[in-house]
Structure 1
Amino acid sequence: MAKKPVTSRSGRFFKLAGMTASVAGQYAGQKARSLFSGENDEGARSESYTRMANRITDTLGEMKGAAMKVGQIASQTQDFLPREFSDALQKLQKEAPPMPFEIILEQIETELGKPVGELFEYLQEKPYAAASIGQVHRARLHDGTDVIVKVQYPGVDESCDSDLKQLRLALKLGGLLKMPKESVDQLFKEIRERLREELDYENEARNIALFREFHKSDPWVVIPSVIPSHSTRHVLTLILEEGDHVSEVTPERYDQATINLIGHRMFKTMADQLFRFQCIHGDPHAGNFAYRPDGSVVMYDFGCVKKLKPEIVEAYRNAVTAALAEDYKALDSYLIDLGARVGSQPAIDEAYYAMWRDILVVPFDSEQPYDFGESSIHKSVAAKTSTVFKYLDSFKPPVESIFIDRMIAGHYWMLKRLGVQAAFGEELRKYLAESSTI
């Protein structure tokens, strides 16, 4: 039997407080054991981390809302938390269990001010999709228009700040935040701002209009349009635009040439948003993209959009250009501009930069198509993550560009799952050579 969802602010607080107390207790116990044994048992610490990670993951998955969203972001940010947590939090990337339908109906009627029967010809009870802060139901307007209705879970908006404070406290008391307080402050401020925007569906409607304008010359980019009469801050109704989930892109319906075309188009949308529009879709996971056999790419969910500062885009452009050219002195300088390198620390050994460059630029370093389906870049990165401890004082999470990194990582996994075979080096160099004032 499914647990009754926690929607009240006080209920959420006590649920998260219980999680925090449990994590803090486990951390204190692990520290005490290592103190009395006089040993730093890596296996015991990893086991303790795993228990804490599972407790946090289970609680966040049940809670939904801001806390679950932060967990999703953390799972994609490898330098934010120990590996055991990143691994456990991957579970939050999967679809969340749905909210009971009667709660959804009540939320729609409260927000739109009319009975559901007056608003829609029908509203499907089974969710079209369920996520961290809301779920989507298929419906039809009385004029016959097929739509989807995105409904925010009650209590999520009002509990955002409280959720974030509790989650931060849990991570701190669990000894899990491997960053200076200043960096933690910046990171949580950035996450809070993005979440505040994402919790406002009127803001998402404006973002949709913006991205439809961005991609108006790309007929193969499909972005659902908004039905204003059926939308508010917590309910968003959109024209139904269907496509195939990445798991449905199979050889029976998509030949390799079409998959490669989709790959090039996805790379173009990503590069256009980063270098030309300086405004990126900040939540690039498999559930927010769909595909059609004609090579079209359908994009969903514009709640998390990051408008980039021109100087950050320029620093990113310069850093990538320097890395490709193996100019590591310049790369070091541009990483300081980007906020990723602590400028007061000594210059980094060029061999360290060369190691990461040789791993990360492989898809762009040859004129021959790169087979993303067979890619092991993520494994090579994981194998080298221990090397960051040598330079822990020299680097910090680049808060201003964290969503750029998230976008690129998300696209890497989609290109891998699609099995794209493409050479992006020439396309990338064209974007890098453009003036940032476009």
Structure 2
Amino acid sequence: MARKPVTSRTGRFFKLAGMTASVAGQYAGQRARRVFRSENDEGAQSESYTRMAGQIADTLGELKGAVMKVGQIASQTQDFLPREFSEALEKLQKEAPPMPFEVIVEQIESELGKPLGELYEYVQETPYASASIGQVHRARLHDGTDVIVKVQYPGVDESCDSDLKQLRMTLRLGGLLKMPKESVDQLFAEIRERLHEELDYENEARNIKLFRDFHQDQPWVLIPAVIDSHSTRRVLTLELVEGDHVSKVTPDRYDQDTINLIGHRIFMIMADQLFRFQCIHGDPHAGNFAYRPDGSIVLYDFGCVKKLKPGIVEAYRKALIAALQEDYEALDRHLIDLGARVGSQPAVDEAYYAMWRDILIVPFQGDEPYDFAEADIHKHVAAKTSTVFKYLDYFKPPVESIFIDRMIAGHYWMLKRLGVQAAFRVELERYLKMGSDEGVHLTPE
């Protein structure tokens, strides 16, 4: 039986405040114990972090909403929180316990102003999907159209700002934020802005129409249409467009050529949105993509969309070109333009840039297909994270481009899970040439 949800602002506040007090107490105890130890016991610290992380993840999962969404973002942003927290929060990507159906019905009827039976022929009680700020149910309109109904959890939008403040306090008092205050301010401001957009389903409806227009010449990109008559700020009804979850893309239905075609199309979608549309789908996890054996790709959930400033896209493009051509002096300049490098600090050692370039360029090095199923880039990145501390004062979270990094990481994991075998070198060069009169090559002159 589902637990009665905490939907009131006061109830959410006390739940989060209890979590904050517990985490702060554990952190204080951990620091006190460290004073009496002759050396820092990393095992005990890791165990303490794991315990705190589990408590935070459980509370965020129960409350859903803004705090759960931040947890999801944190799990993908390795320099945001200690490793133990990223690992614990990863389950928020996969697990979102459903809200009771009677709560969902009440929200639909309140938003659309009619009894459920007048609005839909039926709404399935078992959720089609459940996520951080809303739940999706399969339904049918009275004209026979099969649809899905996305319903926002009650109280989530009103409590967004107070939830974020409370979560930030928890992380600060727990000694968990590994960034200077200015960077934390910028990061939480960016997350808050995206969340307010995501909590407005009318905004998502506009985003869907924008992306349908943008991809209209790519018939293999399928984006469900909005049913305006059954949509409001907190309820969004869309046509039902189904495909296979990545776990269902199996050899009996998808041969390797089809998987490779899908891989090239995923790359094209990502690059088109970044370099041509300058507006990206900012939540690229497995649940927001589906596939069909004809090579079509279905895109879902346009609540988190980041419109990019042209200057940021240009700085990103130039930084990529400089890195690929091993022009590390130029790369340093472009990273400052991107807001990722602290301009007042001296130039970064070229060997440091070369190390990261050699890890990240692997899928684009040659004309031979790269086997993403065997990709271990993430392991090489993890193995080098300790080197980041040497240059901690030189870099800062690139707030304007954090969703670009999130998009690229999300697509890497999709290509890996699909088992794509593809060479993207020529395609990448084509996109990097956009806006440039010069030829672009992935190897230095």
TM > 0.5 = yes
For residues 61-103 of structure 1, what are the alpha-carbon distances to aligned partners after superposition, in whole Å with 9 as ceiling and x for unaligned?
Answer: 1110000000000000011111111111111110311100000
Provide the C-alpha distance between the structure 1 equivalents of 2:124 and 2:29, rounded to a whole number of angstroms. Answer: 49
TM alignment of 1:103-122, pairs within 5 A: 103-122=103-122
- Counterpart in the other structure of 2:90: 90
2:150 is the counterpart of 1:150: yes
Q: Could you say which residue in structure 1 is the equivalent of 2:137?
A: 137
Distance in structure 2 (CA, Å) of the matches to 1:5 and 1:38: 46
Partner of 1:58: 58
**Structure 2 residue 241 is matched with structure 1 residue 241:** yes
> What's the secondary structure of 1:37's corresponding residue?
coil
With over 3 angstroms needed to count, the CA separation of the structure-2 counterparts of 1:436 and 1:176, relative to structure 1, is: farther
| Alpha-carbon shift at residue 202 of structure 1 (Å) | 0.1
TM-score under structure 2 normalisation? Answer: 0.97
Partner of 2:220: 220
Matched, 1:271 2:271: yes
Q: Which residue of 2 aligns with 1:370?
A: 370
Match of 2:47 in 1: 47
1:8-407 equivalent positions in 2, closer than 5 A: 8-407=8-407
Residues 128, 138 of structure 1: 8 Å contact kept: yes
2:40 maps to amino acid: N
1:157-208 superposed Cα distances (whole Å, 9 cap, x missing partner): 0000010000000000001111111100000000000000000000000000
Shift of 1:129: 0.3
Give 1:436 deviation, angstroms: 7.4
Aligned residue for 2:139, secondary structure, equals: strand
- Which residue identity is paired with 2:292? R
Structure 1 residue 289: Cα displacement: 0.3
Per the TM alignment, residue 2 of structure 1 is displaced from its structure 2 partner at its CA by 3.3
Counterparts of 1:158 and 1:38, CA distance in 2: 48
Change (3 A) 1:436 1:32: farther
- Cα distance in 2 for residues equivalent to 1:228 and 1:243: 23
- 1:283 and 1:44 mapped to 2: Cα distance? 35
Does the CA contact (< 8 Å) of 2:2 and 2:100 recur in 1? no
Q: Percent identity?
A: 83
Structure 2 Cα separation of the partners of residues 59 and 289 of structure 1: 27
Structure 1 counterpart of 2:233, which letter?
Answer: R
Distance 1:366 1:108, change over 3 A: same
User: 1:59 corresponds to which letter in structure 2?
Assistant: T
Deviations 1:225-280 (A, max 9, x none): 00000000000000000000000000000000000000000100000000010000
Quote the Cα distance in structure 2 between the aligned partners of 1:79 and 1:35.
26
> Is the 8 Å Cα contact of residues 310 and 436 (structure 1) preserved in structure 2?
no
Backbone CA RMSD of aligned residues: 0.9
Any idea what SS the aligned residue of 2:326 has? coil
Deviations 1:289-315 (A, max 9, x none): 000000000000000000000000001
Partner of 2:418 in structure 1? 418
Q: Distance in 2 between matches of 1:212 and 1:3?
A: 38
Per-residue deviation at 1:38? 3.7
* Aligned residue type for 2:249: V
Q: In structure 2, give the amino acid aligned to 1:196.
A: H
Aligned to 2:443: none
- After TM superposition, the runs of 4+ consecutive aligned structure 1 residues lying more than 6 A away are none
The structural deviation recorded for 1:39 is: 2.2
Which amino acid in the other structure matches residue 240 of structure 2?
L
Taking a change above 3 Å as real, the CA distance of residues 312 and 436 of structure 1, as seen in their structure-2 partners, is farther
CA 1:223–1:436 in structure 2 vs 1: closer, same or farther (change >3 Å)? farther
Q: CA deviation at 1:22?
A: 0.7
The structural deviation recorded for 1:3 is 2.2
Distance of 1:12 and 1:367 partners within structure 2:
54
User: Aligned to 2:36, what secondary structure does the other structure show?
Assistant: helix
Counterpart AA for 2:419: G
Q: In 1, are the aligned partners of 2:198 and 2:204 still within 8 Å (CA)?
A: yes
After superposition, what is the alpha-carbon deviation per residue over 1:31-58, rounded to whole angstroms, capped at 9, x for unaligned? Answer: 0000122422211111111111111111
CA distance in structure 2 between the partners assigned to 1:436 and 1:54 by the alignment: 48
